[in-house]
Amino acid sequence: MVAIGIDLGTTYARVAVFQYGKVEIIPNEQGNRATPCFVAYTDSERLIGDAAKNQAAMNPKNTVFNIKRLIGRNCYDEKMFQDVKDWSAFDAAVVCARVKFDLDLKDEEKLLISPEEISSLVLIKMKEAAEAYLGTTVKDAVITVPAYFKDVQRQATKDAGAI
């Protein structure tokens, strides 16, 4: 059984494995060793990583990024709302004291998706890259979090990994 390490950064994620006495950073499907932490919804599909980042300028309202800044934060955090206003084109809403992103989809009602769900999509993408590279199923992972993360943010990252 093999375990992977995932560095879930604010702007990029990386995945690595320790094998043959060394750490190998695993490339994504584009051959890049870093995958943008972007998720986007178009009229026809959900995009993650490079594909999501590449279309962000054309679809800013339905492209979510910098999600790590919001994970584990809630409606009582005034700085969180200022952060959203300062660096995002998407709309944030508060549902049950949790931050949700209000995405406008053509054939559906608005989609509310949490930072944990967005992070889980990036983590799934990283796991899939590792499985393709290693040629085996991955069941165990270590996910990094910054030292300054509060317990609620650490738990939210664990929750994202479990989704």
* Confidence band, pLDDT 50/70/90 cuts, at residue 72: confident
3-state secondary structure string, the chain? CCEEEEEECCCEEEEEEEECCEEEECCCCCCCCCEECCEEECCCCEEECHHHHHCCCCCHHHEECCHHHCCCCCCCCHHHHHHHHHHCCCEEEEECCEEEEEECCCCCCCEEECHHHHHHHHHHHHHHHHHHHHCCCCCEEEECCCCCCCHHHHHHHHHHHHC
* pLDDT, position 90: 60
* pLDDT, position 96: 40
**pLDDT top residue among 103 and 23:** 23
What is the rounded average pLDDT of the residues 91-110?
Answer: 56
What is the rounded average pLDDT of the residues 99-107?
Answer: 59
Least-confidence region, from 69-78, 130-139, 151-160? 69-78
Percent of the chain scoring above 90 in pLDDT: 46
* pLDDT, position 101: 59
CATH 3.90.1570.10 fits 3-68+115-162, yes or no: no
* 12, 99, 142, 139: CA torsion to nearest 10: -110
Q: Name 110's Cβ contacts closer than 8 Å, sequence gap at least 6.
A: 102, 103, 104
Beta bridge partners of 13: 8, 35
Residue 100 has pLDDT above 60, yes or no: no
The model's pTM is 0.85
Q: Cα separation of 142 and 159, whole Å? A: 13
* Confidence band, pLDDT 50/70/90 cuts, at residue 97: very low
* Confidence band, pLDDT 50/70/90 cuts, at residue 24: very high
Domain ranges of the chain: 3-68+115-162
Residue 158 has pLDDT above 80, yes or no: yes
